[in-house]
Homo-oligomer: A and B are copies of this chain.
Amino acid sequence: MDVRGARREPTMKDVAALAQVSTKTVSRVINDLPGAGPDVVERVRAAARTLGYRPNLTASSLRRSDKRSATIGVLFEDLSNPFDAALLRAVEDRARQNDVLVLAGSNEDDPALQRELLTSLATRRVDGIVAMAAGGHQDALQQERERGTPMVLVDRPPTFDGTDSVTTTNRDSSREAVLHLAGRGHRRIAFLGDRQTLWTSQERYTGYLEGLAHTGLTLHEELVRTDLHGPDAAETATAALLDLAEPPTALFTAQNLVTVGAMRTLRARGLHHRIALIGFDDFPLADMLEPAVTVLRQDVPALGRKAAELIFTRIDGDQSPPTHAVIPATLVQRGSGEIPPAP
């Protein structure tokens, strides 16, 4: 170990000197461009090897005509959230095929933080951005887009024009869940949702309403609880629902953590085998619970893959009208959603 610390990285000039050629020739050899004889190629390769030369991509992208940094930005809500993490992984895998690396950040659903991260990405001249728009306003994203930065929004569509997006069948799948419950005879189906500022929450609620309407059920306002942020809020809300004079016989929980909170209360009251439950978003071990939890499963890898494909198409200069891809979610029946209404 060299205790004297950071030694200078060898440059093309060093390689050129050792191989006794010009730096331009080194450049040609490194980039596999024509115009170098076989013997010279070998000499340069050998020199690069002995010096441990590695090209400096930042210098290269500064000088190159296309200015590509071979890096894209990924801006999600919270990278420690399994959904976001799986999405990141899917994007990363697709990016690797293009020899592109991913600069990742969490915007915490905070527009100010999102703006800050966007400038951070911009100063690093990323080739494009895959973002999960923070709730509230998308001004910063829109401005970035209008500057010409290729951009794809995932999970939530843009509130502005001219930008691709990839989302899930939030509305249709929610409707399907309600139909599923109604088909089992439920007539009092509660809705528990996350913050209504989130587009996904709104869509899922709309799907819930459509489901009710479609089966001729009336909407009972007292069975709708929204703006539940986190499991604790969901726990309390579920308790309140169960304390109603006419409690629901089925719950549709429109978000991951809400599902967990609701289950906790059901379990605490010993009602988990008597009240039906369908949750939006699958989660690990859902099949190990008693009863196993029926969920709407999003195809996260497909979401990420599609988003990455779109961004690379745009980076390659595609100017066609924006695509709004919608990936279908599937109803996974495991038991909790098939409980009949209590007599």
Please give the residue numbers on chain A whose beta carbons come within 8 Å of chain B beta carbons, in ascending order: 1-3, 5-7, 9, 52, 54-59, 61-62, 69-71, 78-82, 84-86, 88-90, 92-93, 96, 99, 101-106, 119-125, 145-148, 161-162, 260, 263-264, 267, 283-285, 288-290, 317, 319
Contacts and interface: CB of A to CB of B under 8 A. Distances in A.
Contact of A56 (B54, B123, B290): B123
A263 B82 CA distance: 21
Contacts of A145: 1
A101 B103 CA distance: 7
Contacts of A123: 54-57
Contact of A125 (B1, B56, B103, B290): B56
A162 B124 contact: no
Given A79-B92, A288-B264, A58 B125 contact: yes
Nearest to A160: B1
Given A59-B62, A101-B120, A285-B285, A162 B125 contact: no
B79 A89 contact: yes
Given A2-B148, A58-B61, A80-B86, A102 B103 contact: yes
Given A78-B89, A119-B54, A283-B285, A103 B106 contact: no
Contacts of A3: 319
A50 to B, nearest CB: 14
A206 B283 CA distance: 33
A96 B289 CA distance: 38
